[in-house]
Chains A and B, each alone.
Chain A
Amino acid sequence: MLSLTIYISFIGALVVAMLPAKPSSMARILALMVAVAGLVVGVVGYVADFGKGLVILTDKAWVPSMGIHYLLAADGISRTLVLLTGLAAVAGVLFSWNIELRTNEFFAFFLALIGGVYGVFLSYDLFLLFVFYEIAIVPKYFLIAIWGSTRREYAAMKLALYSFVGSAMVLIGLLAAYATSGSHSTSLIALHAAGLPVSFQMWCFPLVFIGFGILAGMWPFHTWAPTGHVAAPTAASMLLAGVVMKLGAYGCLRVGIWLLPHGLDPWGWSFIGIGSWRDVFAVLAVIGIVYGALVALAQTDFKFVIGYSSVSHMGFVLLGLMTLNQVGITGAVMQMFSHGVIAGLLFAIVGRIVYERTHTRQLAELETMHLSRRIPFAAWAFVIAGMASMGLPGFSGFVAELQVLIGAWMAKPWWVVAAGLGIVVGVAYTWRAMQKAFFGDGKASVHDLEQERAHPFAAITWPEVTGVVLLASVSLAVGLYPRMLLDQIEPAVKALLAGGVQ
């Protein structure tokens, strides 16, 4: 049932691509219908399989001579992320309602990207996962290169090449694991049970983890992310930061940690406290959290602040993964969901609501525009989104980050100290951006007021309102009643850890 999400998205993409370019409303409406259909299927599948463990959706032999199967399956983690993708897809379409240039091609690439993402989350065969992972690269390139803004061609090429290099590393790991396990099957379940030797896992794990980590925005391979997010059109930024970076984190979890658990074993010697790949990646995650936050604090471009905050928040996900305990990894998956929703909201506000009206993202210029008075909806929305992003209790971010920190404390206390620093700086950069953009100090002069009356901003449209309400209410609901997600995620994480991760 959940596999319908993939097929609906790809067929939708094909149909939208063949539509004529001129009445762009046809493309939009069809894209919205497809995205909503995907979300509905995701929700129904989520609720229907609540409490069940791993559910196999499709298993067809694809290349029997090599043991490759078209194997789709979902456990609690996959179902949660499919739900996230559905939300991000609908919100993305809503916030792209005003695109007039080559609308049908835009939504075709958008839906193709969504289809690829659904495919990664639902694949349980490593080869199939890799295929969907790579399918997602090409639409990203075109979305940014054609409809993007600042330095779009450079940003698009950088993003495409970094993603491709990351997936090349994963391909090497995939071929190695397949060959070492006897070339019988590429199904994740079979490879997990194949008992890959520890010495093999010791070098394959970092290769695969870094390969997926590049897409997850792991420091120091994160540099494609701020450039790419800023250059991308709003919907693409929302998808990139919201869902595509989670593809990398999901790969780290499912393929890295589950398939190659002994790669995290201690080496037997340690150097300044680092004695295993677990320590290495945890340190990189913590650096990512603090570095991302500090750099966000120094930005002059509103969208760059959000871009770097994504790097910082993804650091929490990676830190949670490296705790290797129930609480930490659950927190990491929660953070994937929470940050997906919140980052989508933030990019939507900055890109669609503010930039499309003010035509500038420079905080210094926005400071003079009195946005809290002229577009109060944007100010309200950003205050809510900013609080959620900071980790205010009541929103999903708090639940996620709390669990990650508890898990980190159980693993190595000093990680919590450094991560906590990141949270404090997080408050700083969020409030700084909020204040500069919306609540600038100066009193409006008479001349300013005349200008504003002469050139008023466009009114807030219904797609924008719907999108903001959708995302904000999801974050609030999960923050107030996290069990709606935790009851799915926790059993799945328990099963994953029981499979051999110490």
Chain B
Amino acid sequence: MPLRDEILKWTEGGHLKPGEASRAFAIAGVTPKLADWRRFVEALLLWTGSILVAAGVIFFFAYNWKSLPRLEKFGLGETLFAVAVIAAWRLGIERAAGKAALLGAALLTGALLALLGQTYQTGADTFELFGYWALLILPWVIVARFAALWLLWIGLLNLTVAAYFRAMTWGLFGVFFGTSGLLWALFALNVAALAGWEFGMWRGLTWLNRWGARVIGSLLGCYATSIALICLVDPHEIGTGAILAYLAWLGVMYVYYRWRVFDVFMLAGTLLSAIVVTTVFLGKQLLGHGDSAPGMLLIGLVIIAMSGAGAWWIREMLREQSMGATQ
């Protein structure tokens, strides 16, 4: 239990006067010190400032200001882009300010590509914009050793795939690879991304962090759950093999995040997915055949039982884990 929570337990239990909590926090070192505040304020100003400026530039180009001539628009965009790249180069990508500048340059790359398409009406599809954007910033992503930039890149790949399938939902391609094809592609992409991220962490790439894996894991969970739900509702749409893929995903998530890297976030998310899929399965079996009331009551109680048991199970795992750590 974090020390702060421990102190609060003591105050609530009457072992420590509530008025002394602040002093106890200071003794425990859980109150930020001046140097911590300094680092925090610097980071807050740097990251919020950089993101707001980049967002402002993107909004500006999206406005498509008619009275601003084409040359000025490109001049402005390219100047800002050059400033960001030069700042990243001069500050160095090992420093936070250099990383922020590089992230800004990566975002501005997309803004410039959009401006190019908007000005010259290139006829390019949206997936091409995202695809080229991802391709162009790939060298920076590789050399920067910066988790946020990798997440941006993986996000762009997701958008590319989604836009590609949306653009191709006509003709024979649409018939064979419609919604199910999109979900399978996104599922496969994010399996690869999560596996790569975990592999990197396993190989000791300290600049990758667990929260990045959780972001990708959340996306993957949404796609895996969608595949299972479509399979349950309309097996012809996606094929009955989808449920096997889903079960395999459940198994891998449990084994990896229980035994290899203990991660409560991933386990709780996987459990929630299993509850949702079970609910839909039971709904399909029990509802819509005459009187629905008993089925609804049963499903409600099953959800309560599953989530209650799941919470107890995760807490038991947590207890085992903490006992193992202290031995």
A and B: bona fide binding partners:
no
Using a CB–CB distance below 8 Å, which chain A residues touch chain B? none
Using a CB–CB distance below 8 Å, which chain B residues touch chain A? none
